[in-house]
Amino acid sequence: MGAANVAKRPVGVVQHAAGEGPGYFADWLDRQSQPWQLIALDTGASLPRDPQAFSGLVFMGGAMSVNDPLPWIERALRLIRACVAHDVPVLGHCLGGQLMAKAFGGVVQANPVKEIGWAPVLIEDNGVARHWFGETSRVEVFHWHGETFSVPPGGTRLAHSAHCANQAFSIGKHLGLQCHIEMTAQMVHDWCEAGRDEMQAASTSPAVQSATQMQRDLDARIAALHGLADRMYGVWLSGLRLD
C-alpha cells in the first residue's frame, strides 16, 4: 500500500477488554503508515459519536455477550449502523463480528460447542469469499468463543468450520469475523494463562484444545495466520475513506 493511499483520518480501534487489544492488526497498520487510535472501553473511554471522524472502525473481542445488558452495547450497534450510512468501513473480530451481525439484523446465540484453539475454516465457493480470502479453500485460524452469529440480511457467508456454521461474513466493504486473525504468539500465551478455568470447564468439547496443543508449532502457525491477515486487512484497508 503506497503512501498516497494512506487515509488522513485515523482508523478507530475499539477495545472491549484488557488482553484483547488489536495485536497484529496494530503492527500491520503501523507498517502501512496508517494512523490509528485506540478507544479502550475497558479503561473508561467512550465510543465516538461521529463515525466520520475516522476512516474506518474496528471492533475487537471480549468475553462479554452482545446480548448482555451493558450500557455501551446499544451505542455500539448504533455506531456500526452509522458507519454504514456514512460509508465508513467496519471490521469486527469475534465479539466485534457479533456486534456487526446484530447491528445488521442478525442473531447472536450460543454455538453448539465452545471453540478454543487452532482449527481450520473452510472458505465458501463464491466470488465474495475469494475477494477476501484469495483462492485458498482452507486456512487454519485461532478460535476462542462460546457464542456465534447468523449471517445478517444482505450479508454473504465467507467461511465455516466443523463446529461453527458462520466464521465470517461481509456486506460490501464491511467484514465480520467469528475467528481471530489478529493473534500474536504472546497473545496466545497470555490467553492460555488467563483462560485456564474456562478451558478446563469446556475440556469435553471436541473443539477445545489444551494449552500445550495451542502452543505447539506456535511460531509457524502465527506466521501462516499473519499471511492470511495481511491479505484480509489489505482488502479491508483498500475501502477506507481517503478524504
pLDDT tens for each residue of 195-234 = 999 999 999 999 999 999 999 999 999 999 999 999 999 9
Quick one: pLDDT at residue 243?
78
Residue 195 lies in a domain: yes
Smallest CA-to-CA distance from 191 within 168, 214, 213, 208 is with 214
pLDDT score of 6: 86
Query: Does 207 reside within a domain?
Result: yes
Per-residue confidence (pLDDT) for residue 8, from 0 to 100: 92
Q: Is residue 243 part of a domain?
A: no
Mind spelling out the 3-state secondary structure of 120-154?
EEEECCCHHHHHHHCCCCEEEEEEEEEEEECCCCC
Residue 54 located in a structural domain: yes
Q: Which neighbouring-strand residues pair with 118?
A: 142
What does the pLDDT read at residue 1? 37
> Which residue segment(s) compose the domain that 108 sits in?
3-237
Distance CA(23)–CA(96), nearest Å, equals 14
Q: Quick check: is 144 in a domain?
A: yes
The answer as to whether 242 is a domain residue is no
pTM: 0.96
Looking at residue 186, which CATH number applies to its domain?
Answer: 3.40.50.880
The total domain count for the chain is: 1
Cβ atoms of 19 and 43 within 8 Å: the answer is: no
Identify whether the C-beta of residue 92 lies closer than 8 Å to the C-beta of residue 175. Answer: yes
Residues of the chain predicted below pLDDT 70: 1-4
At 80 the pLDDT is 98
Q: For residue 131, is it within any domain?
A: yes
